[in-house]
Structure 1
Amino acid sequence: SLVAAAGSERVVRSMPNTPALIGQGIAGLYARPAVSADERTAVEQLLAPTGRTLWVEREDDLDAVTALSGSGPAYFFFFVEAMMAAAVDMGLTAEQGRRLALATCSGAAALGLASDETPTTLRERVTSKGGTTYAAITSMQGDAVDEAIRRAVLAAQKRAAELGREFG
């Protein structure tokens, strides 16, 4: 275990993600009870250049953090790949699709972070009944994309827990 390897009960576990490479990441953190408030603050300061931090109460919650944000960048890029393929299907170049998809996703993420509105409200504001966004959302709902995403994230959480048990 980490406690045995460290030779101390004062252990903090961290699950960062790849956007940390450009200072835009988020790291999930769990501190054992022996870690002081000052030590928690020191960990936050150490990780500040990589982006944000989020403390969880239970060590097992890091499995959910891993599934959501550790693996999350791959889900995002998978979505961008699909948007790029659709761009090509519509006559744009893959590069045009990449630029449009990445800028759109980046802007939407920034809007979500800056807004007090829920993601549902922000989505609904873009979706006019009978409009283009409505057609796309209805298509995704018909294909149960939301359920597929939930199943995928839960599969990642399950695998994170399995790996945690394997490597203790």
Structure 2
Amino acid sequence: VHAGSAELGEGQGLLVWAVKPQMFGEAAAPCAGRIGGALQLSVMAGIRSDAIAKATGSERVVRAMPNTPALIGQGIAGLYARTAVSADDRALIEQVMAPTGQSLWVDREADLDAVTALSGSGPAYFFYVVEAMMAAAVEMGLSAEQGRRLALATCGGAAALGLQSDESPTVLRERVTSKGGTTYAAITSMQADGVGPAIERAVRAAQIRAKELGDEFGG
């Protein structure tokens, strides 16, 4: 939908908001009178559904928080629907999002801040770990390319195993960790360095920042 478009009839059409958050007000202004009660899907970070409903006049708003693996159909998106969104609306949203990967509905809009911190920003955490593994590979005499292939294949395989297994990540980790062995040495080193709590603090920092952005954009 753009300023020169035809009006959307009451309850008709799907409008997707994919502009930068700071541009939403400008983009919504010429559309507000043309939207009617159309279903809206927002992939904008930080703009809460109250702000979208107020700016557009439609209460049928769904917010989505996707992540970059969506580019290859391997993403996961957190979804939140306002009360005016029907079961049929939800089914349509799931259909629209399906080519990007999985979807996960949350009951509270505030939970999208946690989704943002965990899966929205999460690919960057993963690549940060891969970078460190690559650096270690070079220090141990392998090439950067060898380190990249080994790290990515190992992490990707571990993720696939975790998704297909009925066992918890803790059990899967323990199965690789024989006391006194190489994995035990690595895990013990990470525990001594506080890696686990550091990751928890990092994810929490992302959640706090997501909430701050929502406040900043007038949600």
2:159 pairs with 1:113: no
User: Could you list the runs of 4 or more consecutive aligned residues of structure 1 that deviate by over 6 angstroms after TM superposition?
Assistant: none
Tell me the alpha carbon deviations over residues 58-91 of structure 1, each in whole angstroms, 9 at most, x when there is no partner: 0000000000000000000000000000000000
**Which of 46, 66, 81 is the aligned partner of 1:31?**
81
Question: 1:44 aligns to what?
Answer: 94
**Which of 113, 127, 136 is the aligned partner of 1:86?**
136
Bigger shift: residues 134-143 or 2-11: 2-11
Question: 2:115 aligns to what?
Answer: 65
Partner Cα separation in structure 1 for residue 94 and residue 55 of structure 2: 22
Larger Cα-atom Rg: 2
Task: Please report how far the alpha carbon of residue 7 of structure 1 lies from its aligned counterpart in structure 2 after TM superposition.
Answer: 1.6
Partner Cα separation in structure 1 for residue 52 and residue 72 of structure 2: 28
Specify the code of the residue in structure 2 equivalent to 1:149. Answer: I
Provide the TM-score with structure 1 as the length reference.
0.99
Between the two proteins, the alignment pairs up a number of residues equal to 168
Partner Cα separation in structure 2 for residue 146 and residue 6 of structure 1: 43
Specify the code of the residue in structure 2 equivalent to 1:115. Answer: S
Question: 1:150 aligns to what?
Answer: 200
Identity, % of aligned positions? 80
Q: Which has the higher helix share?
A: 1
Task: Please report how far the alpha carbon of residue 144 of structure 1 lies from its aligned counterpart in structure 2 after TM superposition.
Answer: 0.5
Question: 1:133 aligns to what?
Answer: 183
Partner Cα separation in structure 2 for residue 104 and residue 6 of structure 1: 46
Partner Cα separation in structure 2 for residue 163 and residue 11 of structure 1: 19
Tell me the alpha carbon deviations over residues 82-131 of structure 1, each in whole angstroms, 9 at most, x when there is no partner: 00000000000011000000000000000000001000000000000000
Partner Cα separation in structure 1 for residue 203 and residue 144 of structure 2: 27
Task: Please report how far the alpha carbon of residue 6 of structure 1 lies from its aligned counterpart in structure 2 after TM superposition.
Answer: 2.9
Partner Cα separation in structure 1 for residue 85 and residue 56 of structure 2: 13
Specify the code of the residue in structure 2 equivalent to 1:127. Answer: T
Partner Cα separation in structure 2 for residue 105 and residue 36 of structure 1: 39
Secondary structure of the residue aligned to 1:117 is coil
Partner Cα separation in structure 1 for residue 56 and residue 215 of structure 2: 18
2:164 pairs with 1:124: no
Structure 1 unaligned spans of 5+: none
Partner Cα separation in structure 2 for residue 63 and residue 6 of structure 1: 23
Question: 1:8 aligns to what?
Answer: 58
Partner Cα separation in structure 1 for residue 97 and residue 90 of structure 2: 11
Question: 1:75 aligns to what?
Answer: 125
Partner Cα separation in structure 1 for residue 111 and residue 165 of structure 2: 26
Task: Please report how far the alpha carbon of residue 5 of structure 1 lies from its aligned counterpart in structure 2 after TM superposition.
Answer: 2.5
